[in-house]
């Protein structure tokens, strides 16, 4: 690698790292999944066990969603160094986000041996809005994407590197649920590339390569068996598209309208459940290639998955991707060069097979091929030159125009992300939990009991996280009330802290209690209209001139 390449890659890494770590300790607010990952890392560090006392698990029960546990273990050394803080929990994801552009550079060089294309692809990934967004939080899918990228790079090399590629794919499986489908889909490409059953054809493969590859494949098979058995399979059942059939009323209306019965063949052909699922799957799948998702709105169902009013990759990147894809398809390639296109086509499938109409987090791996095609788009623009233009002058002109549009698009996204994202939907971002929990920690000793609202979900994990609650003490009382539908459950009590909904009646039925209301509960119960009580409440988690939590000590004299 030349000195110039090294300088460019170091600059890409440093700039990508800086944009990901800036203010990451306090922005965006810590989500409950991040708090759970952090506290379980803290518990493993202190006791070798998770919050429920299970020794070194591969799958963490957490809220009943049974998280693959590798990210927890990746966070342990950072929790050891920096303590139980948002920064420590997010650092593994930040590092993956900053290093992935370098991995993409190597992958593109492996595919085309084109330094310019590799640099543009790496730059695109370093500053892609979705890549930055999911790197600035403890999103396991970000680490999974990094492992898949690394594994693909190894598998595109000589057979002696294949065990390293398979090991990286195994680590992806241990990191995030979506890898259960995407990993074998990517492996299918390499089987097609080298020939079944993962043979090298005319390639000479050493016995040690076969041995280590076989061991890793057996470990993968064992992981699938382990993760699809017992309570761990509940998450798949809850999130799967195929777990949600059409309501009986809908089917009865179709039968009545067309004067059919379930036994009619044309009911099965034109109105059957298989067709409903096929339409739902196609609807979800093609959403991920729509301008609405990629350029203009991003994940329009979940504000946590991106900045408002901005697409998954942004306006300029969307145009460059389209140009790059056309430029790529217009050229002849060897079989292995079609790997990015294959990745682009299969990446949305894990998300499309889930119950959600769109999901930015589950579709994150699509950023790898998109970044490559953005690189192709830049290459196409830089290769174009009118006959009348002088080559060097026109090249600098194109650099200037691209740089200007990139700056404007990135600045617009940055303003939406750092200024407006949380302010626009603070409740969705669980804003105010830190202030509310710190208030409880400093005031709970003077109360017989504390009741903290669970209106916004999972308050117990914030209490454990911000109080650095001793894991050995919590493990003796940890109890998750299971959800009857198989989804995430809830913890109702830690010591004298109770977590449940509150209303106006609680003000009079609990003596010497510290109550933490959600803003929504205040409004729904009409407490805000009782000025004597409301004036005695302490607002917490203020944003947009509004508090998201209110604290009240019962038994105090009213004015």
For the chain, 559 residues long, give each residue's pLDDT as a single digit of tens. 678 888 999 999 999 999 999 999 999 999 999 999 999 999 999 999 999 999 999 999 999 889 999 999 999 999 999 999 999 999 999 999 999 999 999 999 999 999 999 999 999 999 999 999 999 999 999 999 999 999 999 999 988 999 999 999 999 999 999 999 999 999 999 999 887 555 545 667 888 988 999 999 999 999 998 888 777 676 677 777 777 777 778 777 776 776 666 666 666 667 777 788 888 899 999 999 999 999 999 999 999 999 999 999 999 999 999 999 999 999 988 899 999 999 999 999 999 999 899 999 999 999 999 999 999 999 999 887 765 566 677 677 888 889 999 999 999 999 999 999 999 999 999 999 999 999 999 988 877 899 999 999 899 999 999 999 999 999 999 999 987 777 789 999 999 999 999 988 888 888 888 999 999 999 999 998 988 889 999 999 999 989 999 999 987 665 5
Task: Say what the pLDDT of residue 333 is.
Answer: 87
State whether 367 and 462 are in the same domain. no
User: Is residue 394 in a domain?
Assistant: yes
State whether 460 and 525 are in the same domain. yes
Tokens of 163: 């065990």
What radius of gyration, in Å, describes the C-alpha atoms of the chain?
26
Strand order from edge to edge, sheet including 513-518: 493-494, 497-499, 449-452, 513-518, 546-553, 538-543
State whether 530 and 388 are in the same domain. no
State whether 216 and 354 are in the same domain. yes
Task: Say what the pLDDT of residue 201 is.
Answer: 54
Task: Say what the pLDDT of residue 232 is.
Answer: 66
Beta carbons of 142 and 114 less than 8 angstroms apart? no
Beta carbons of 17 and 10 less than 8 angstroms apart? no
Q: What's the helix, strand, coil split of the chain in %, to 5?
A: 60, 5, 30
User: Is residue 140 in a domain?
Assistant: yes
State whether 439 and 417 are in the same domain. no
Task: Say what the pLDDT of residue 157 is.
Answer: 92
Tell me the C-alpha distance between 122 and 371, whole Å: 7
Tell me the C-alpha distance between 430 and 434, whole Å: 9
Bridging pattern class, strands 449-452 and 497-499:
parallel
* Phi, psi torsion values for 516, nearest 5 degrees: -115, 105
State whether 8 and 152 are in the same domain. yes
Task: Say what the pLDDT of residue 483 is.
Answer: 78
State whether 408 and 448 are in the same domain. no
Q: Which of 407, 424, 441 is the last residue of a domain?
A: 424
State whether 173 and 316 are in the same domain. yes
> In total, how many domains does the chain have?
2
Tell me the C-alpha distance between 75 and 95, whole Å: 11
User: Is residue 262 in a domain?
Assistant: no
Of the candidates 556, 543, 555, the one whose C-alpha atom is nearest the C-alpha of residue 29 is: 543
User: Is residue 538 in a domain?
Assistant: yes
State whether 380 and 485 are in the same domain. no
The neighbouring-strand residues paired with 452 are 499, 516
DSSP codes joined into one string, 138-204: T-HHHHHHHHHHHHHHHHTS-GGGHHHHHHHHHHHHTT-TTHHHHHHHHHHHHHHHH-TTT--TTS-
Count CA within 13 A, CB hemisphere, residue 547. Answer: 17
Q: Which of 424, 453, 480 is the last residue of a domain?
A: 424
State whether 379 and 459 are in the same domain. no
User: Is residue 320 in a domain?
Assistant: yes
Describe the crossing of helices 86-112 and 115-126 by its angle, rounded to 10 degrees: 160
User: Is residue 449 in a domain?
Assistant: yes
On whether the pTM is more than 0.85, the answer is yes
Q: Which of 424, 441, 473 is the last residue of a domain?
A: 424
State whether 342 and 378 are in the same domain. yes
Domain span at 142: 3-30+85-242+276-424
User: Is residue 361 in a domain?
Assistant: yes
Contacts of 382 (CB under 8 A, 6+ apart): 116, 395, 398
- Dihedral, 345, 347, 353, 354 alpha carbons, nearest 10: -150
User: Is residue 265 in a domain?
Assistant: no
State whether 347 and 387 are in the same domain. yes
């Amino acid at each position: 690698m030349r000195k110039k390449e090294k300088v460019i890659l170091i600059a890409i890494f440093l700039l990508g790292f800086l944009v990901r770590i800036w203010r990451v300790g306090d922005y965006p607010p810590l989500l409950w999944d991040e708090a759970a990952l952090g506290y379980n890392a803290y518990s493993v560090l202190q006791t070798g066990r998770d919050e429920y006392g299970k020794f070194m698990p591969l799958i963490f029960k957490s809220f009943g969603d049974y998280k693959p546990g590798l990210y927890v273990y990746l966070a342990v050394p950072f929790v050891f160094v920096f303590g139980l803080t948002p920064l420590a929990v997010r650092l593994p994801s930040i590092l993956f986000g900053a290093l992935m552009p370098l991995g993409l550079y190597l992958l593109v060089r492996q595919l085309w041996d084109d330094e310019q294309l590799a640099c543009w692809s790496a730059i695109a990934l370093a500053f892609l809005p979705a890549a930055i967004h999911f790197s600035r939080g403890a999103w396991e899918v970000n680490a999974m994407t990094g492992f898949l990228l690394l594994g693909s790079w190894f598998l595109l090399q000589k057979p002696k590197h294949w065990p390293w590629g398979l090991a990286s794919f195994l680590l992806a499986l241990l990191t995030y649920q979506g890898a259960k489908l995407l990993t074998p889909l990517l492996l299918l490409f390499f089987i097609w590339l080298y020939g079944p059953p993962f043979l090298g054809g005319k390639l000479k493969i050493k016995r040690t390569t076969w041995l280590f590859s076989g061991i890793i494949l057996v470990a993968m098979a064992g992981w699938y068996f382990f993760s699809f058995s017992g309570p761990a399979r509940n998450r798949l059942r809850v999130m799967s598209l195929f777990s949600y059939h059409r309501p009986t009323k809908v089917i009865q209306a179709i039968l009545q309208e067309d004067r059919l019965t379930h036994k009619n063949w044309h009911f099965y052909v034109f109105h059957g459940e298989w067709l409903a699922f096929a339409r739902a799957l196609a609807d979800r799948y093609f959403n991920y290639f729509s301008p609405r998702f990629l350029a203009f709105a991003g994940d329009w169902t979940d504000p946590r998955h991106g900045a408002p009013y901005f697409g998954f990759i942004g306006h300029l990147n969307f145009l460059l991707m389209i140009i790059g894809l056309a430029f790529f398809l217009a050229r002849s390639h060897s079989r292995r060069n079609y790997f990015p296109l294959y990745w682009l086509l299969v990446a949305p499938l894990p998300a499309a097979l889930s119950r959600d109409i769109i999901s930015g987090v589950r579709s994150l791996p699509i950023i790898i091929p998109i970044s490559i095609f953005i690189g192709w788009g830049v290459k196409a623009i830089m290769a174009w030159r009118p006959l009348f233009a002088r080559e060097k002058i026109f090249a600098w002109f194109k650099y200037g125009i691209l740089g200007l549009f990139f700056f404007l698009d990135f600045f617009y996204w940055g303003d939406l992300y750092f200024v407006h994202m949380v302010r626009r939907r603070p409740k969705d971002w669980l804003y105010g939990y830190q202030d509310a929990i710190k208030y409880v920690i400093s005031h709970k000793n003077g109360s017989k009991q504390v009741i903290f609202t669970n209106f916004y979900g999972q308050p117990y994990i914030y209490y454990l996280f911000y109080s650095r609650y001793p894991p050995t003490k919590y493990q003796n009382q940890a109890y998750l009330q299971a959800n009857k539908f198989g989804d995430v459950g809830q913890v109702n009590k830690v010591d004298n802290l109770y977590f449940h909904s509150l209303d106006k009646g609680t003000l009079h039925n609990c003596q010497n209690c510290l109550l933490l209301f959600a803003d929504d509960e205040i409004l729904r119960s009409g407490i805000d209209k009782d000025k004597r009580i409301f004036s005695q409440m302490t607002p917490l988690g203020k944003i947009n001139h509004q508090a998201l939590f209110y604290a009240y000590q019962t038994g105090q004299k009213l004015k």
